[in-house]
Structure 1
Amino acid sequence: MNNTQPNFALSPRSNLQLNGRCGFNIQNDRVSINIDSIANQRDNTNLSGTLAIELWALKQPYQGEHFEGVALAGTTIGEIQGQHFIPNCQYDLMFREPPAGNWHLALMLREWNGAAYETRDCVNFAVPYSASWVPTVVKKPSDNVISVSFNETEKTEQTGAKAAAKKPAKPAEKAAAKAELDQTAKTAAKKAEPKAAPKAQDGTLCLNTASQKEIAAIKGVSTKLAARLVEARPFKTLDEVLKVKGMGAKLLAKIEEVITL
């Protein structure tokens, strides 16, 4: 909603004034307020109190006395020194929709007197503001619950014939099924077993690829030494093998013929 008009002065008019053309533009939950100027016509030593610009919805046009209504938007603009003014005032404010009904909108300039804000000047806009009632949809918990009862029905094939009832399995069939499951489990377990490291063509065992169990099977190599060898590999030379704790020169010379890297 747009509305712009000249200021029609209160009687008697305050020396704090909204001058020139004043207007507003309401867009959803925002309102833009435009005022040509806001002036303090008091003596130049007279600093105003804190001033506020407020847009009100009233049941009757403002006449300069006590009023009842709904504050739609507002902001403080600070103080103005006497014989000074603020030109080209533009304010973008949050807008509060009034209750449903027809309202008279009034733009007020108000001053803080130390205890409350008092209206110093006002513009009554000629075009009424009509607020429509918007219903609020309240959903009960039961609104989202669908209760449907079903009768038991027999399943039918696509041809419409009744499906044959399942017969209990015979003992022989159960035994065959169990044997098949056991065989499947054995096959899966066998596949999961780690494959032994392939031996070299000359029958030697590769220390870099053999399992700990295979290394421990070498005569003279303990389980602990086999574990250390697995942890220390890969080996590039036999000198590196000799550095492993527990691997002495005599033992290495003894097993050198059956290992490779």
Structure 2
Amino acid sequence: MKIALVGYGKMGHIIDDIATKKGHEIVARLNETPTKDNLNNPDVIIEFSNPEVAFENIKVGLEHNIPVICGTTGWLDRKSEIEEIALKNNTAFLYGSNFSLGVNLFFALNEKLADLMKGFPEYQVQLEEIHHTHKKDAPSGTAISLAEGIIKNDDRFDAWKLDETQNKELGIFALRQDEVPGTHRVSYKSAVDELEIKHTAFNRNGFALGAVIAAEWIIGKKGNFTIKDVLFDK
């Protein structure tokens, strides 16, 4: 494949290394707004940039009929617009709050546990995420996906909120510590005990590999997808 990397920070460099070792060609490494000229006619775009510019980056790619894999979080209030653009241009868009295989297994486990725990109101649920101090958005996209999985399976909640909550809001607590790739914890605590599930990333390689696998998978497809389509739809 010919891959254009839009957002060439730490993740972009790791994706570059993994994709190159898998035999793919990186035809663009961009930290500026993509254009038809500087994208260099790729087969697919992998976008890991910043929340402020992600929408425009993705839009440009889709409007040039290039499928886009996006791992940028913090811009999802406009995701429905992007999905409409993908359909209008007869191309493909795939968003993942986290491309790690382990995290996506964690998502499935989280939903199963939420369904089991919904009948035990004596257990209070708490969701916590820890990331490196360079991460600009809070809570993380992964934490939001976990919260949505709980809300879908437990009618005690109808929305999530950062930090303190009221009524039927599920709280997400976001901490920032030096060079932590990502830790997510969901706990159920009662007066007598506590049950906890946790995912800890040791580095960014799992995220990068998942993004490259998603890019390989999306070639020739049309429509809007998630990482679940790549990992679990057989």
Shared fold (TM-score, shorter chain, > 0.5): no
The two structures have a TM-score, normalised by structure 2, of: 0.24
| Rg (Cα) greater in structure | 1
